[in-house]
């Protein structure tokens, strides 16, 4: 798929290309990762499809524009299973994600210590290329759009400190994708399921560089 | 014995520790029933829907300890949709009203909310022990309530639960809390206040078991161990550090002081060069659980094993390889239980794994082995037959060939004969899981020979109803039967309906059972709950459509009133 693409080394860090709707995951020859979601067999030459409900627009969009479209059709689209059978082999979910991980980059910063136990729903959020993570309170947002703005805010300052300029607009085709780890330990693309379901399932968030998706795809359970 | 005063009878009953014995004596006569029920301290309920909470409380008003199990076993593998039930709240509410002296609560596969934990913490002044295994529905807020209000808490054991992280809670243990004997929070993901943890360990001088979560650093571990050299059971946190650093050296010397350590687990993330600190402890270990340590390679595992000659129980990942199991066989002569888990369950088979060779060498080298859980890429009949000869004392034999319906690679035949040899040889077998390519024949063998079998798990096996029928006819002691993806249908289900009242439960999913047959079963057996699950809540399709999932269990409580929309109790 053509169109505006932000390369990884581009100094503009447009954000969170979540659900570039109507996309398929394709690895093209020049290593650019195209993200599309559509039903299998839909929209022409898609080699890989996540089989998710077709989104109206085909152009890759920023996350906020994605939200203009119904996230889900009549119900939850069943995720295509990587393994052929549900619950096979019979191991508990937490054992599926024990793949060796590198040690975390440094101890968590002081500001992450919680002095008081708040009733908010704080989840960790990390961004590729930034060693220090943040925490974001999901209970203060009620939609993916607000989440996206909040994430944008969070990392804007950190990115600025690193000397990068940030146009930081949500509707640019960014080189980034927002994913989350759910309660079964699987890494999932943000935006597929209704917000409430997402909030109950999400354990932590991560902003991935889109070129890393090919690597992280192995780790993702899709 | 009716001319003995009741106190004497009660005293005699005190010597009966098994639930079955106490159940039996309560059937003898009304007097004994009365004495028994008023003196009963511990109750175990294997299926929380088999009886109502109110019934428990009115019959046994003086219980001190309750153990409850909720969801079916296959819920562990995501076969039961969320919201199924098994809520702990009705139980805690009922007991709070009727048995205020409760001291211990063990829950397995149940849903427990923070509100319920708070109620628990506030309702029982003598509460001492909370054990939650594979539960969900709560957060660290609930744990904070337990820590804050249970003054005499001795045991808090959180084993493989799904817990929401809402913040720090270890600091909620008041300074006056010095009674902890066992603290296990290994399954948590959230941050831990290291200082609060150290202080807690320091003041709880009776602490014997401590299992840390991956958020606890190696540095904190070394400080904690210094303050708790009397520990018998330790689960490390994240075992990552620079091996030349002072914290690591401190850890190494702290470990030397732990003369009582017999059980070790954890190792969520590992720096291999830091493992040598553990070697001095290994020589005294009887239990070693390295099944979470995905970053310890085979060679490192083998080094640890070589130091651990006294092991009785070993849990490990298949990264150990057949070669490593050979080392286990030659080193661990006291081994009784072995579990080998897959390091890459959904992988494509290129990762390290174990085969029939590893199992065979362990069976040859470890004469006391009686319990095994083994995930492997392949298995042969020849190996199983030899294993059966070498180890006739198996009580638990669970084999999982990762490829469903995979035949013996040497002969391309089904594994019927191999499993047949196991059940023929192992007369004391109580629990069995079968896998690989299997015909009805294996069920003929199981029905014929596995006379003490109590629990059987079957997946992707069998050819016709006859398989399940032979099973039901033969295994007289069968209590739990769980089946998935097998071609068993209505005839098999209905062949021996009465038998289900002698069992705790039956689970069948992705088989060939129709709604009609389930309705027939429900009509015939009023003391069973016949629950049909449809994943999308849609029961249209009529009586001849196949049910996705079926869960049948005996009960005196009638149909449950908390079933979600996707469960239909017939």
pLDDT digits (tens, 9 = 90+) for B114-135: 999 999 999 999 999 999 999 9
Residue from B73, B76, B77 to probe the interface with A (highest A Cβ count within 10 Å): B77
pLDDT score for B348: 64
Residue B167 with chain A: CB contacts under 8 Å = 114, 116-118, 122
Residue B158 with chain A: CB contacts under 8 Å = none
State the ipTM, two decimals. 0.86
Domain that holds residue A206: 122-219
CATH of the domain at A135: 3.10.20.90
Q: Which CATH number fits domain B1-40: 3.40.605.10, 3.20.20.70, 3.40.50.1370, 1.20.1280.50?
A: 1.20.1280.50
Residue B200 has pLDDT above 70, yes or no: yes
Residue A15 has pLDDT above 80, yes or no: no
Determine, yes or no, domain membership for A171.
Answer: yes
Looking at the complex, report in whole angstroms how far the Cα of residue A179 sits from the nearest Cα belonging to chain B: 18
**Domain ranges for chain B:** 1-40
Determine, yes or no, domain membership for A6.
Answer: no
Looking at the complex, report in whole angstroms how far the Cα of residue A70 sits from the nearest Cα belonging to chain B: 21
8 A C-beta contact, residue B144 and residue B177: no
Determine, yes or no, domain membership for A173.
Answer: yes
Residue B195 with chain A: CB contacts under 8 Å = none
Determine, yes or no, domain membership for A93.
Answer: no
**Cβ separation of A92 and B240 shorter than 8 Å?**
no
Q: CB pairs below 8 Å between A and B: how many? A: 90
pLDDT score for A9: 45
pLDDT digits (tens, 9 = 90+) for B362-375: 999 999 999 999 99
Provide DSSP, chain A: --S----TT-S---------TT---EE-TT--EE-----TT-SSS-S----PPPPS--S---HHHHTTS-S-SSSPPPPPPSSSSTT-S---HHHHT----PPPSSPPPGGGS-SS--SS-EEEEEETTEEEEEEEEGGG--SHHHHHHHHHHHHHHHHHHTT------TTS--SEEEEEEETTS-EEETTSS-HHHHHHHEEEEEEEEGGGHHHHHHHS--
**Cβ separation of A99 and B187 shorter than 8 Å?**
no
Residue B401 has pLDDT above 90, yes or no: yes
* Cα Rg of chain B (Å, integer): 25
Q: Which residue of A has its CA nearest to B293?
A: A98
Determine, yes or no, domain membership for A4.
Answer: no
From the CB of residue B361, how many other CB atoms can be counted at a distance below 10 Å? 21
Instruction: Identify the band that residue B171 occupies on the pLDDT scale cut at 50, 70 and 90.
Output: very high
pLDDT score for B476: 93
**Cβ separation of A90 and B292 shorter than 8 Å?**
no
pTM, two decimals, is: 0.74
Number of domains in chain A: 1
**Cβ separation of B167 and A117 shorter than 8 Å?**
yes
Q: Does B536 touch chain A (CB under 8 A)?
A: yes
Instruction: Identify the band that residue A184 occupies on the pLDDT scale cut at 50, 70 and 90.
Output: confident
B-contacting residues of A 120-159, CB under 8 Å? 121-122
Looking at the complex, report in whole angstroms how far the Cα of residue A174 sits from the nearest Cα belonging to chain B: 31
């Amino acid at each position: 798929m053509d169109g505006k693409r932000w390369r990884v080394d581009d100094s503009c860090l447009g954000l969170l290309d979540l659900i570039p709707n109507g996309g398929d995951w394709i690895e093209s020859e020049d290593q650019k990762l195209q993200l599309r979601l559509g039903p299998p067999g839909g929209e022409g030459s898609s080699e890989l499809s996540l089989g998710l409900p077709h989104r109206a627009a085909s152009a890759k969009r920023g996350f906020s524009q994605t939200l203009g479209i119904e996230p889900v059709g009549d119900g939850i689209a069943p995720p295509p299973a990587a393994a052929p059978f549900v619950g096979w082999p019979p191991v508990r979910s937490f054992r599926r994600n024990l793949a060796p991980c590198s040690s975390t980059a440094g101890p968590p910063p002081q500001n992450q210590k919680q002095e008081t136990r708040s009733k908010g729903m704080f989840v960790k959020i990390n961004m590729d290329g930034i060693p220090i993570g943040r925490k974001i309170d999901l209970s203060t947002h009620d939609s993916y759009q607000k989440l996206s703005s909040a994430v944008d805010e969070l990392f804007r300052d950190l990115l600025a400190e690193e000397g990068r300029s940030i146009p930081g607009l949500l509707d640019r085709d960014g080189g980034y994708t927002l994913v989350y780890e759910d309660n079964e330990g699987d890494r999932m693309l943000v935006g597929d399921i209704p917000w409430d379901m997402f909030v109950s399932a999400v354990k932590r968030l991560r902003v991935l560089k889109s070129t890393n998706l090919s690597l992280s795809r192995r780790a993702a359970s899709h | 014995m009716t001319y003995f005063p009741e106190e004497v009878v009660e005293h005699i009953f005190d010597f009966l520790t098994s639930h079955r014995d106490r159940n039996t004596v309560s059937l003898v006569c009304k007097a004994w029933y009365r004495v028994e029920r008023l003196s009963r301290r511990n109750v175990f309920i294997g299926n929380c829907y088999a009886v109502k909470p109110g019934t428990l409380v009115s019959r046994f008003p003086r219980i001190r300890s309750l153990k409850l199990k909720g969801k079916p076993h296959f819920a562990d593998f995501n076969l039961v949709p969320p919201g199924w039930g098994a809520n702990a709240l009705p139980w805690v509410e009922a007991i709070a009203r009727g048995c205020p002296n409760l001291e211990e609560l063990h829950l397995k596969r149940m849903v427990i909310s923070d509100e319920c934990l708070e109620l628990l913490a506030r309702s029982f002044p003598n509460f001492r022990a909370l054990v939650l295994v594979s539960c969900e529905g709560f957060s660290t807020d609930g744990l904070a309530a337990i820590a804050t209000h249970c003054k005499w808490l001795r045991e808090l054991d959180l084993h493989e639960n799904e817990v929401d992280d809402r913040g720090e809670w270890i600091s909620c243990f008041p300074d006056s809390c010095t009674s902890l004997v066992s603290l296990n929070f290994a399954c948590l993901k959230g941050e831990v206040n290291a200082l609060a943890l150290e202080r807690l360990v320091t003041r709880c001088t009776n602490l014997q078991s401590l299992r840390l979560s991956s958020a606890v650093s190696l540095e904190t571990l070394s400080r904690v161990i210094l303050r708790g050299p009397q520990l018998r059971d330790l689960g490390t946190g994240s075992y990552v550090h620079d091996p030349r650093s002072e914290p690591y050296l401190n850890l190494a010397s702290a470990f030397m002081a732990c003369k009582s350590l017999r059980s070790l687990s954890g190792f969520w993330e590992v720096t291999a060069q830091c493992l040598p600190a553990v070697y001095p402890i290994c020589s005294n270990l009887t239990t070693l659980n390295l099944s979470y340590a995905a970053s310890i390679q085979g060679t490192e595992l083998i080094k640890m094993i070589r130091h651990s000659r006294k092991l009785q129980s070993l849990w490990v990942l298949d990264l150990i390889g057949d070669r490593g199991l050979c080392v286990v066989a030659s080193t661990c002569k006291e081994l009784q239980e072995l579990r080998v888990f897959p390091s890459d369950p959904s992988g494509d088979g290129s990762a390290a794994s174990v085969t029939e060779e590893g199992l065979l060498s362990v069976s040859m080298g470890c004469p006391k082995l009686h319990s095994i859980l083994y995930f492997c890429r392949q298995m042969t009949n020849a190996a199983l037959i030899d294993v059966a000869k070498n180890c006739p004392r198996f009580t638990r034999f669970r084999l999982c060939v990762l490829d469903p319906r995979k035949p013996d690679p040497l002969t391309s035949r089904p594994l019927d004969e191999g499993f047949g040899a196991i059940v023929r040889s192992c007369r004391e077998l109580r629990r069995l899981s079968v896998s690989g390519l299997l015909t009805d024949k294996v069920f003929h063998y199981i029905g014929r020979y596995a006379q003490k079998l109590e629990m059987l798990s079957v997946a992707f096996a069998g050819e016709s109803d006859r398989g399940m029928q032979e099973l039901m006819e033969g295994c007289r002691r069968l209590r739990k039967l769980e089946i998935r993806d097998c071609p068993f249908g209505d005839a098999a289900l209905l062949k021996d309906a009465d038998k289900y009242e002698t069992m705790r439960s039956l689970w069948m999913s992705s088989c060939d059972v129709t709604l009609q047959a389930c309705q027939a079963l429900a009509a015939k057996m009023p003391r069973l709950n016949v629950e049909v699950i449809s994943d999308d809540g849609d029961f249209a399709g009529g009586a001849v459509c196949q049910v996705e999932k079926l869960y049948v269990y005996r009960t005196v409580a009638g149909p449950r009133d908390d079933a979600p929309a996707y469960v239909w109790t017939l």
